[in-house]
Amino acid sequence: MGLKTKNLLIRIAVAVVAIPALVYLFIRGGWWWTGFVELLVVLSIWEASRLFQLSGRYFPRWGFMFWCLFPPVLFHFYRTDWLGPWAFAVIIMAAFTVIRRPDPLGEANDYAAPIAVAIYTGLGFGFFVGVRQIGSDVEGGRWLMFLFANLWIADTFAMFCGAAWGKKKFAPIVSPNKTWVGFYSGLIGGGLVGGVFAYGGWLPASWPVVVLGAVLISAVGQLGDLFESLLKRRAKIKDISGIIPGHGGVLDRFDSALFAAPVLYWFLKAFVYF
C-alpha cells in the first residue's frame, strides 16, 4: 500500500468518526459546544506558537492562550459588546510583553503579526459559538451544519476539479496547487450545498439568501485556507501539527471556518435576523 493511499484511508477513517461527533455537538449546543470550542482554542494557540518558533519569531503563548479563551465565553453569554475591549486588552498584553523583553527592537519581537494571529484565532473560534447562538436552538445547530458542510464540499470540489482541469494558479507562491478553476469550483460546490439546504427547507431564509450566503462563505473559506498556508510557508512546514491523524493540526482543519464563521454570523445578522 502506497503512502498516499494509506494517508487517504486514515483521513477517511478519522472523518467517519469525527463528522458524526461534530454533528452531535452542533445539535447539543450549550456548554458542550462551547467547551469543545475552548479546547480548539487551546490547541490552536499552541500550534500558532510553534509556527512562530519555527520562523524565529516571538509569540507569548501563555498570555495569548489565556486571553483567547474569552471570546467563546462572551458569545456564549451573548456579550458581544465586550469584544472591542477584549481585542484592545490583547494588544496591551502583547505590547507590555514585548517592551519588557531583552531586545524589544529586534525583528523577532515584532508583535503586530502575533497580535493578528491571536485575534484571528480567538475571534474566529468565538464566532463558532456565535453562529450556534443565532436564532432558535434548532436553527443554530442547522446553521453550523450549513457552515461546515459548505466548507467541506467546497474544499472537495476545489481540490478535485482544480487537479483535473486547473492550469492558471490562484496564489502560486503561497499555495502552488491552488488554481482559479479550483476556486470557482469551490464556489459551485458551496452554492450546491446552499441549494440543498434551501430546497429542504431546513433554514429560516429564502433560497436566494441561503445560496448567496453559501457562495460567500465558500469564497471566504478558501481565502482562510490560503492565509494558513502563508503561515506554514513562512515556517517552512507542511502541517502545523499531527494532532488529527491524516489531517494535520487544528489550524489545518479549521482554517477555512475561522474566516467563514464571522462572515456567516454577520451575514445572518444583516439578512436573516435583522
Q: Could you report the per-residue pLDDT of 234-266, keeping only the tens digit for each?
A: 767 776 777 776 667 788 889 899 999 999 999
For residue 266, which phi and psi values (nearest 5 degrees)?
-75, -30
This prediction's pTM: 0.91
- What is the reported pLDDT for 8? 60
- What is the reported pLDDT for 131? 97
Average pLDDT, the chain: 88
Cell of 96: 507590555
* Average pLDDT for 189-202: 94
- What is the reported pLDDT for 115? 87
Cell of 207: 433560497
- In contact, 191 and 215? CB cutoff 8 Å: yes
List, for residues 53-90, the tens digit of each pLDDT value: 877 788 888 989 999 999 999 999 999 999 999 999 99
Report the length, in residues, of the chain: 274
Picking from 9-13, 24-28, 229-233, 267-271, which range would have the lowest pLDDT averaged per residue?
9-13
Closest CA to 133 of 125, 122, 141: 141
Residue 1 has pLDDT above 60, yes or no: no
Residue 241: burial class (beta carbons within 10 Å; 0-12, 13-18, 19+):
middle
Percent of the chain residues topping a pLDDT of 70: 93
- What is the reported pLDDT for 243? 77
Cell of 148: 461546515
